[in-house]
Structures are given as structure tokens and as C-alpha cells.
Chain A
Amino acid sequence: IAGITQAPTSQILAAGRRMTLRCTQDMRHNAMYWYRQDLGLGLRLIHYSNTAGTTGKGEVPDGYSVSRANTDDFPLTLASAVPSQTSVYFCASTPGGGSYNEQFFGPGTRLTVL
């Protein structure tokens, strides 16, 4: 089934630990995104990638890094997790290249940092 997968589904992490959230899409979309969702704040863009080999910073990039080695994968890394990074993380993708920009979302990763 075409779409976006994220792993893990949920994770409890000790503060200071390193964590990588995985995201894979099989739709050959050019653009991919990482958002965090917090109650009352909606979705906030962390990092994005318009095409393989390029990445950019979103609204709340501090404490996070991404890479885009190929079209399908867009991992998000927390180098040293802090409790304020407790959130639900969504990966999304779009075909790119036009003004119509429907985003396709993964099921999310619920991360708790203690």
C-alpha cells in the first residue's frame, strides 16, 4: 500500500539520549517535511526537504537535524533529547513542483522525554 510509514510508533526516552525517528515514503514524492504537534499549537514545521540531497530549517529547528540521502527516506534526529521535545511527530510528503500542495501524512510518532 502506497504511503508514508514512521517508526517507532511511540517511544519513551531519557533526557540526554540520542534518538532518530524514521520516515519512509514510497510515492516518489520530491518534498518531505517533519512537524511536531502540540496541544493548542497545531502543527509546527521542524525541517523540510524540497528534493533529495537538500534540506531546510522550518519554524522550530533547534535541537533537531535531518538528512535526505535519497528520495524515500527522511530521518529526524534528536542529538540530546530534552523534556520540551515531548510531542507527537509527523512526517509528510508532497509531489512538489506546483502551487497545489496536498500533503500526505504518516501516522505519527509519540515521543516522551523524561
Chain B
Amino acid sequence: GEDVEQSLFLSVREGDSSVINCTYTDSSSTYLYWYKQEPGAGLQLLTYIFSNMDMKQDQRLTVLLNKKDKHLSLRIADTQTGDSAIYFCAESLNTGGFKTIFGAGTRLFVKA
């Protein structure tokens, strides 16, 4: 089946690293994504990784993909109060057409 799971809440102190985890069930994923949703706004793509990659780094963001365990993580280094938001994990599936499955979102609280 198609399912993407994430924990609902994460709280960190400003300056620490945040690690948001996600598991997915469908092995036909082509791309996996992290979206960020700030209060009162729509989702915006933060970063993505192609399914044949293990890691992608983009400034303070590091994405790790373990295809064997179907596990995706997003690490935010030196977390700032402006990083407080909801982070959604998502996967693109090749099912004839391409569809995207979103997780429920992880709400990140950053304490000053």
C-alpha cells in the first residue's frame, strides 16, 4: 500500500540540530521531498532527493535516504526560531501517472 508516516511533534533548542524522520511503504518511489509550511501559508518545497541517492546536502539541510529500510530524514543544522513550521515528507510514485503521497506533517518547535 501507499503510506507515509512521520511523528507529529519535535521540540529543539535554538542552535541545536533538528532531525525529522519519515518512513514510507511503497518501493516504487521515484523522488522524495520535504515541504515546509509556515503558519497561515501553503506548503513550499524545501528540498528533494532522487530515489537512487543516499544523501543530499543543501546549506543547513541534509537529507538522508535509506532505501532498504524505506526511511527518509531531514536534518536542520543550527536550528533557528525561523525554522519553526510544519515539515511534510512526500513521495512521488510511478503508478501509470505520477502521484504524490504526503505524510501528516511534523510540527517543529524551536525554543529560544
Contacts and interface: CB of A to CB of B under 8 A. Distances in A.
Interface of A: 4, 35, 40-43, 50, 90, 92, 98-103, 105-108
B31 A103 contact: no
Contacts of B103: 42
Interface residues of B, number: 23
Contacts of A99: 30-31, 92, 94, 98
B10 interface: no
Interface of A is mostly: loop
Contact of B43 (A41, A98, A100, A103): A103
Interface of B: 8, 30-31, 33, 35, 40-45, 48, 88, 92, 94, 97-100, 102-105
A102 B105 contact: no
Contacts of B97: 50
B92 A101 contact: yes
Contact of A101 (B41, B100, B104, B105): B100
